[in-house]
A = this chain, B = another copy of it.
Amino acid sequence: MPSPKRDHLVDTAAALFQRDGFHATGIDTILAQAGVAKMTLYNHFKSKDELIVAALEVEGARYIAWLRARADQAEEPGERLLAIFDALEEWFETEGFNGCVFMKAACEYGPVNNPVHMAAAAQKRAVFDYMLENATSARLRDPRNLAQQLLLLHEGAIAVAHEFGAPIAARQAKRAAAVVIEDAG
């Protein structure tokens, strides 16, 4: 059932999970921050894990929309593939960049059949789909393989940028992406 309280709860949860991680963020903290009663949470969700999944779905949609908005400014699909990494750089440069909530979810909920892990993987698959879409439009060789390699660079850039606090990882990923795209041209 949709509800403004529910939406606000999910948004607040997504922000706190993003910042502090999942195990480290207690329900009471989320409720206090959102200004929502505990029973409201448990009326809308069976458990904390269900709230986490909902937060990942909302945040996943938001990320993809943001990525498309940035990358689609480029006209040519080949250019869009590169523009993805410009968007990443912008993200890494933002004050308080703290890593990727989906990667954190996959890490904290290791088993691949865990619902939280699967929700995180679904978001990464959406990124892959966007890459495949453009690799195909650009009529590049073996677009599936290319998209997979670009996804590796996407994930690698996020991981390295966070591990070392090094936003420059985005630029290096872009350079590597240019090379593998050229190789498929």
Contact = CB atoms under 8 A, between A and B. Distances in A.
Given A107-B99, A108-B104, A179-B180, A173 B160 contact: no
A84 interface: no
A149 interface: yes
A103 to B, nearest CB: 6
A175 B145 contact: yes
Name the interface size band of chain A. 35 or more
21 contacts: A19-B110, A21-B23, A21-B107, A21-B110, A23-B24, A98-B110, A99-B110, A104-B110, A106-B159, A106-B163, A107-B162, A112-B163, A112-B165, A121-B164, A124-B160, A149-B172, A149-B176, A151-B160, A152-B157, A176-B176, A179-B179
A153 interface: yes
Interface string A168-185: 010011011001100100
A108 B24 contact: yes
Interface of A: 19-21, 23-24, 98-99, 103-104, 106-108, 110-112, 117, 120-121, 124-125, 145, 148-149, 151-160, 162-165, 169, 172-173, 175-176, 179-180, 183
B99 A162 contact: no
A155 B145 contact: no
B162 A149 contact: no
Nearest to A157: B152
B159 A103 contact: yes
A156 B154 CA distance: 7
Given A103-B159, A107-B103, A164-B121, A152 B180 contact: no
A88 to B, nearest CB: 11
